[in-house]
Structure 1
């Protein structure tokens, strides 16, 4: 399929899924709601649906700047609302005097239940509280099975979307040029480290792209990719804007402050 050549081989199953959803909407005239998608998957979804005027594609993750969002694909004449995304928010509190809770702690606890990451939206830890954005149908399961985090008892209760603790995410965007869109070259540009050091981090499995460990320095990055470098923080590829006269790649990246 010609469509595949624009994406990575490992993204083909998701591409097939999007095509199946599109065909299902066109065949059954009913909306389709996806699991939670990362930014790269959202970009792929938009690319495949394109400007098809017979369909309406929208995304919602609970709040405007959410990272993980659900997609709702519907016939153009179908009226949809935020309620159709079937989202809820579970909130818990913990004693900040006795325990320090991080996003990693919360994610680890939830994943230990055997859930797939795509079944959950953003996880937020802020001001002595934490929140889990999820499908409404999953809320009861989480409430029954999450009783402790780091040996500290917690109590989960549902709150409204208006009560989401919006994270103070500040992304610093930067334009630059790189010799190629290889992972090691872009790490060098974003984190201002040597290419050799970038390769060492990658080979030691200290780098994740879209939440998956990548151990190949030659891995090619594309717009929408999220990057995590252990101890250095998170970043993302915003856009790849073509070659310069010296045959370097012009890119726009962003780093989380």
Structure 2
């Protein structure tokens, strides 16, 4: 069976990486810790490793409710602790009385450090407080190089994971049917928009899939995808449950309140 046929062509490199991790753990009887994975990558890892083998996985992103998580791939006899996930939590100290810091600015600054997106987890906000998770192996580098965000001079304070801002992602689950898994069709069905309107939103650069700008209306959505439409909120595709008698796709979605 060709494993690649069940996934997108552009996911082939990640699939090979997961299979390599799995082989490594099986052959060496040791553990393998990944970078932070987005929901779609987590879904792929779950499918490839499975639930009934001698190799298992655990997911943790630093706090309950976060979306980006590191995976720990382990032999079935291994008993992990949270320390095994090697996650650091930083609070950004800045002059909050005089300016505000927003998510795009924080993410843009982190990416300008020359590190991969996978080295960073979720970015958390609560009123003026701003925090982010990062891989411990690059925490010293981050502390040394992150000194400003936009016009704001900042200081990083590394704190314990139990001091993380609480995540209140509430999702309303529902079942729906769509004529295809094309992005424009799914966006249209979820948000009750005309197909023409959803195509326009996509072509205008207002739609992201798994935090990545996607300007192709024909992009095929998959299980685990997180779809963000500016002005309409975010939706997770929780499962794809096959076709109805009328050849429509039955999907389970979670819509953020």
- Equivalent-residue separation in structure 1 for 2:64 and 2:169 (angstroms): 12
User: Which shows bigger deviation, 101-110 or 30-39?
Assistant: 101-110
Helix, strand or coil at the partner of 1:36? strand
Counterpart Cα distance in 2 of 1:64 and 1:253: 20
Is the counterpart of residue 15 in structure 1 residue 18 in structure 2? no
Asked if the contact 1:94/1:128 (under 8 Å) is kept, the reply is no
Runs of at least 4 residues of structure 1 off by over 6 A? none
Post-superposition shift, 1:233? 2.4
Report the Cα offset of residue 191 of structure 1: 1.9
**Deviation readout 1:90-131 (Å, 9 max, x if unpaired):** 112334432122211211111121221111111112121111
Tell me which residue corresponds to 1:114: 114
Query: For the Cα contact (< 8 Å) 2:64–2:167, is it kept in 1?
Result: no
Partner-residue secondary structure (3-state), 1:156: strand
1:100 matched to 2:94? The reply is: no
Contact 2:39 2:68 in 1 (8 A): yes
The CA distance in 2 between the partners of 1:216 and 1:161, in whole Å, is 39
Task: Please give the TM-score of this superposition, normalised by the length of structure 1.
Answer: 0.95
- When structure 1 is superposed on structure 2, of 199-208 and 12-21 the one drifting more is 199-208
Instruction: Give the count of matched residue pairs.
Output: 257
1:126–1:167 CA contact under 8 A, matched in 2: no
Alignment of 1:164-179 (within 5 A): 164-179=164-179
Shift in Å, 1:234: 1.9
**Please, which runs of 5 or more residues in structure 2 have no aligned partner?**
none
Match of 1:190 in 2: 190
Report what 2:65 is aligned to: 65
Aligned ranges 1:1-257 → 2 under 5 Å = 2-257=2-257
Shift of the alpha carbon at 1:173?
Answer: 2.0
Contact 1:183 1:219 in 2 (8 A): yes
* Distance in 2 between residues matched to 1:145 and 1:231, nearest whole Å: 34
Query: Matched residues in 2 for 1:52 and 1:39: separation?
Result: 21
The CA deviation at 1:174 is 2.2
Q: CA deviation at 1:16?
A: 0.4
Residues 93, 157 of structure 2: 8 Å contact kept: no
Given the two structures, how large is their TM-score scaled by the length of structure 2? Answer: 0.95
- Mean Cα displacement is larger for which, 244-253 or 120-129? 244-253
Structure 2 Cα separation of the partners of residues 93 and 126 of structure 1: 13
3-state SS of the aligned residue for 1:99? coil
Residue 58 of structure 1 aligns to a residue whose secondary structure is strand
Which range moves more in the overlay, 7-16 or 138-147?
A: 138-147
SS where residue 63 of structure 1 aligns?
Answer: coil
Q: Residue by residue, what CA displacement relative to the aligned partner does 1:231-252 show, whole Å, maximum 9, x if unpaired?
A: 3322221111222232222212
The CA distance in 1 between the partners of 2:47 and 2:218, in whole Å, is 25
Q: Deviations over 1:42-90 (max 9, x none)?
A: 1111111113431121111011211011111111122221111111101
